Structure 1
Amino acid sequence: MSVIETRSVPIIPVRAPADDGFPARHQVLPVVLSAMFMAMFDWFVVNVAASSLQHDLHAGESALELIVGGYGFAYASGLITGGRLGDLHGHRRLFVLGMLAFTAASLLCGLAPNAWALVAFRILQGGTAALMVPQMLALINTLFPVRERPRAMAAFGATIGIGAVSGQVLGGILLNLDLFGWGWRSIFYINVPIGLAAAALAARWLPAHERIQRPKLDPVGALGFSAALALLLVPITLGRPEGWPLWTWLSMVAAVPVMALTVGYERRLTTRGGEPVLDIAMVRARGFGLGLLIAGGYLTFFAGFMLCLTLFLQNGLGLSPLQAGLAFAPLGVCFASGSFFLAPRVAARIGTRVMVLGTCTSLTGLAITLAVLHFGEPHLGTLALIPGMMIVGTGNGLTIPSVVGAVLSSGIPARQAGMAAGVLTTAQQFGNAIGATVLGVIFFAALGTGQHGGHYVTAMETSALGGALVLAIVLVAALALPRPAADRD
């Protein structure tokens, strides 16, 4: 056993033996997955409400970008620390506390009196999401026996797609209904009853005791990783509306030495026998590292594709937010079906190669979408785009739960599940932020000053080609992923 494994904190749920799993695991799984649903829903739902926020709160472009992106960089920056806190103090405890804190932050968002108050509350909301989400994957990894984890991870993958698409669909419905005259505030208020119910059920159903130690937290590592990610994500969020001033470039450059110094400190802390917030040896393992690239790359494509397609449907084709949201419903159904029904069955037959199949499927759907865009003018309509979107959703559903299962099963001890989940989810949310920004910049650059349909088609085509390049990189990583002995012929 390595020194790192010897020092790791044992996380052993009561009544959760490795062979049989926790008896109430199937009952509690939807409660645990509600954290992922809420986190993804709140990432995407604000896009639908952007025009309402501009009108009601007089939010300028910079404030609007921070309302959307502030949640994202607070979420991504805190995930590693959130996962480590779960390992140190118990995943059940951090899940319940995180869910309650997220619920309170959502309520504050709904009560925000002005744009900058909403910015502050959205950053708080992202930070609280970073407490609850890593516990979800860690709990799945510890409560379910190995033979049942693929199905649980498939449900997790389906939840990512359902949450993202629900942000578009349910967000549009809520705005259209305007319940109690709440307008955009209802997209935050809806989290309150869901969060309270999820916290209460988790407190009641999850194992009540965990055998844990109380080692010291690594504040230098936690602060260093959070600072490095913030130095990168804040200018990415604000760069385009601010016209990419000098400080954005200096901030992104500064992120590199801050990250390097933090990694160096973590290595020295490990050598001295300390408890680092991130096990560098775990990240450097080939299977884990490639898995992070696949997970982050896929979410880079998915987030950028969703944003650009939303802009195209609403501004290019003239759909309302509700109509544009409903147009994503078939993609969401295929994402969920691919995750829950196809991925476990295909993975059982071809193992980790399911990620290669899923990526090729998404590339096929993207190629069909590009062909429709190129040859569909001047009578391009929403229905013509649906088949390509559905195939993209199926590919996403095959890949995302499979890579999550592969990463968390690549020799990670259960007692490090929170740390591994935090790193994995950080890669995914970092991909979300990069994808929405980079592909969005490509979209607006191709759009230029033109505002008629033809310019929007060109912008969508160009951003889709950028997404295809990202998927090509993911495909190379999937082909290079080490295959377990069970996968080999």
Structure 2
Amino acid sequence: MPSPGTAAPQGPADRRRWLALAIVMTAAFMDLVDVTIVNIAIPSIRRDTGASFTSIQWITAGYALAFAAGLITGGRLGDIYGRKRLFLIGIGGFTIASALCGFAVNPEMLVASRILQGGMAALMVPQVLSIVHATFPAHERGKVFGLFGAIVGLGAVSGPLLGALLTEWNLFGLEWRPIFLINLPVGIAGLLLGRAFISESKAPKALRLDLVGVALVTLGLLMLLYPLTRGRELGWPLWGYVSMAAGLLVFAALVAFERRKALRDGSPLIELSLFQVKSFAAGTAVQLTFGVALGIFFLVWTLYLQMGLGWSALRAGSTGIPFSVAVSCAAGVSVQKLVPRFGRKVLQAGALLMIAGLLLYIEEAGRHGLEITPWQMAPPLVVMGVGMGLIVAPLTDAVLSDVPKQHAGSASGLINTVQQMGTALGLGLVSVVFFGSVSDNLPPEAAGPAFVDAFQRSLWWVAGVLAVIFLVMFALPARPRTHLEGGEDDAAPETAGTTSKELSPTG
């Protein structure tokens, strides 16, 4: 039974590791597509179910919240009980949750099913790269991670388009529901093939699950995000402010508890010593704020295109193609050519380019109003996409450059968790930055201008967040000195915290 710290055997029977790779990559692709496919179908969901704007937020934020809260826990459970076992439980549960989403009879059931789906993804996704590390020797990992990059790029482009096509085709009169039901045959095939071809692996040393840490992380996130999402609808009651302040206290209690647990038995949920590394502390701050920016932009952008401008799902989905292509192209160039020569300046240039693209988008939206075309949106989207590509590909390496090798896995899992927390926080903030000027019951003649105005206001918020990111990036190392993937076998992660999200331009 291979472990993350040992190379896979090279016998004929081990040829099935490539089948195992195809299975886990398909699962990662399914999760990536599911994140991007939902946004494009939101207007159809709202028309069909009568969902309020608050429910719409929870359809997206609920998934991100459950995923963020369970990501580290899912990785640790894989270490303890076996990566294959947790992967199969996760993909089975994800498939069941997708069916529940597809057959949801009201917004409440859809929100609950999305939360379950996010929780199951938190069990499934952390095992993906850990299974790769446990199955492939170091000299093959470069090829493997190259394949992952291609899958991520494909997921980023195909998610919105697939969502648009499935919604437009209205298969069997099901409208938006096929965006979830399409996961059923993929999930069932992954479950059956995974049982046959994935080898089991566990952590080389016994670990314990930090249940108190799990509870504190989940409670803190809920106390912070629930009032943000419901606050506008309820008139910003006093209990909401109290809950958010108490949520910060819960996180402080988490830090104190994790510090004591590390001293007591050496198995904390979060390795706090990592934050003593300057580049890691700064990098997690970048990941958090970058997640906030992405969470706000992608939801607001979809609502603006379809509910504000009245575009079809297909037109809205195809409008994002220049952005996705620009992200993929810039990501490849940044890692291979620019970062080795210019270091963190490449990431900072990416932040400035994203700000420039946002300012150009604000100007275009204001000048053309409801008459704006996809071609007029292409230049700001390309500028933003290039900027984002310069950030997402090298960011993980920059954050991990000073982290000791023995903590590489837990550090990678933590920064991905932090980004997902940021995304959930950004989706919660949509209530403040966007829905504050758009109500559920706008007359048709007022809806378009209100959405355009709210979209421009939201982009100013995103630009402000990116300005903060630019400044925090000065704390990153001038040039990354280590590389997590494809390194020596003894540098393999100690925990299953690494996820495909770190490779994702949209995750």
Q: TM-score normalised to the size of structure 2?
A: 0.82
Q: 1:54 deviation in Å? A: 3.6
Q: 1:143 deviation in Å? A: 6.2
Q: Which residue of 2 aligns with 1:425?
A: 416
How big is each residue's C-alpha offset from its partner over 1:34-75, in whole Å with a ceiling of 9 and x where there is no partner?
444333433343333334334444444444433332222111
Q: Which residue of 2 aligns with 1:467?
A: 462
Q: 1:287 deviation in Å? A: 1.6
Matched, 1:388 2:383: no
Cα distance in 2 between the residues matched to 1:133 and 1:88 = 16
Cα distance in 2 between the residues matched to 1:430 and 1:405 = 20
SS in 1 for 2:468: helix
Q: Which amino acid in structure 1 is aligned with residue 446 of structure 2? A: Q
Gaps of at least 5 residues in structure 1 are: 1-9
Could you tell me whether the CA contact under 8 Å between 1:13 and 1:211 is conserved in 2?
Answer: no
Q: Which residue of 2 aligns with 1:67?
A: 59
Cα distance in 2 between the residues matched to 1:279 and 1:216 = 14
Matched, 1:252 2:244: yes
Q: Which residue of 2 aligns with 1:442?
A: 433
Cα distance in 1 between the residues matched to 2:370 and 2:97 = 46
Q: 1:445 deviation in Å? A: 3.4
Q: TM-score normalised to the size of structure 1?
A: 0.85
Gaps of at least 5 residues in structure 2 are: 483-507
Q: 1:125 deviation in Å? A: 0.8
Could you tell me whether the CA contact under 8 Å between 1:153 and 1:402 is conserved in 2?
Answer: no
Matched, 1:451 2:458: no
Cα distance in 1 between the residues matched to 2:154 and 2:223 = 31
Cα distance in 2 between the residues matched to 1:96 and 1:416 = 25
Matched, 1:88 2:77: no
Q: Which residue of 2 aligns with 1:4?
A: none
Cα distance in 1 between the residues matched to 2:21 and 2:231 = 39
Matched, 1:357 2:349: yes
Could you tell me whether the CA contact under 8 Å between 2:90 and 2:124 is conserved in 1?
Answer: yes
Could you tell me whether the CA contact under 8 Å between 1:439 and 1:466 is conserved in 2?
Answer: no
Residues 62 and 454 of structure 1, relative CA distance in 2, 3 Å threshold: closer
Q: 1:30 deviation in Å? A: 5.5
* Pairwise CA RMSD: 3.3
SS in 1 for 2:125: helix
Could you tell me whether the CA contact under 8 Å between 2:75 and 2:127 is conserved in 1?
Answer: yes
Could you tell me whether the CA contact under 8 Å between 1:71 and 1:122 is conserved in 2?
Answer: yes
Q: 1:440 deviation in Å? A: 5.2
Q: 1:106 deviation in Å? A: 1.1
Q: 1:274 deviation in Å? A: 3.7
How big is each residue's C-alpha offset from its partner over 1:380-408, in whole Å with a ceiling of 9 and x where there is no partner?
32211111102211221221121123334
Q: Which residue of 2 aligns with 1:103?
A: 95
Give 1:204-219 correspondences, 5 Å limit.
206-210=198-202, 212-219=204-211
Cα distance in 1 between the residues matched to 2:104 and 2:449 = 39
- From 25, 39, 52, give the equivalent of 2:31: 39
Matched, 1:15 2:15: no
Could you tell me whether the CA contact under 8 Å between 1:154 and 1:402 is conserved in 2?
Answer: no
Cα distance in 2 between the residues matched to 1:30 and 1:284 = 38
Q: Which amino acid in structure 1 is aligned with residue 5 of structure 2? A: I
Residues 57 and 290 of structure 1, relative CA distance in 2, 3 Å threshold: same
Could you tell me whether the CA contact under 8 Å between 2:334 and 2:346 is conserved in 1?
Answer: no
Could you tell me whether the CA contact under 8 Å between 2:67 and 2:122 is conserved in 1?
Answer: yes
Q: Which amino acid in structure 2 is aligned with residue 15 of structure 1? A: A
Q: Name whichever of 61-70 and 312-321 sits farther off.
A: 61-70
Q: Which residue of 2 aligns with 1:188?
A: 180
Q: 1:203 deviation in Å? A: 4.9
Q: Which amino acid in structure 1 is aligned with residue 170 of structure 2? A: D
Residues 373 and 59 of structure 1, relative CA distance in 2, 3 Å threshold: closer
Give 1:329-344 correspondences, 5 Å limit.
329-344=321-336
How big is each residue's C-alpha offset from its partner over 1:416-439, in whole Å with a ceiling of 9 and x where there is no partner?
61x334322221112212223325
Identity of aligned residues (%): 36
Q: Which amino acid in structure 1 is aligned with residue 70 of structure 2? A: G
Q: Which residue of 2 aligns with 1:305?
A: 297
Q: 1:207 deviation in Å? A: 4.6
Cα distance in 2 between the residues matched to 1:400 and 1:98 = 26
Could you tell me whether the CA contact under 8 Å between 1:134 and 1:421 is conserved in 2?
Answer: no
Residues 64 and 445 of structure 1, relative CA distance in 2, 3 Å threshold: closer
Cα distance in 1 between the residues matched to 2:328 and 2:154 = 6
Cα distance in 2 between the residues matched to 1:292 and 1:149 = 25
Cα distance in 1 between the residues matched to 2:360 and 2:267 = 50
Q: Which amino acid in structure 1 is aligned with residue 8 of structure 2? A: R
Cα distance in 2 between the residues matched to 1:485 and 1:306 = 29
Q: Which amino acid in structure 2 is aligned with residue 291 of structure 1? A: G
Q: Name whichever of 219-228 and 439-448 sits farther off.
A: 439-448
Residues 268 and 66 of structure 1, relative CA distance in 2, 3 Å threshold: same
Residues 420 and 91 of structure 1, relative CA distance in 2, 3 Å threshold: farther
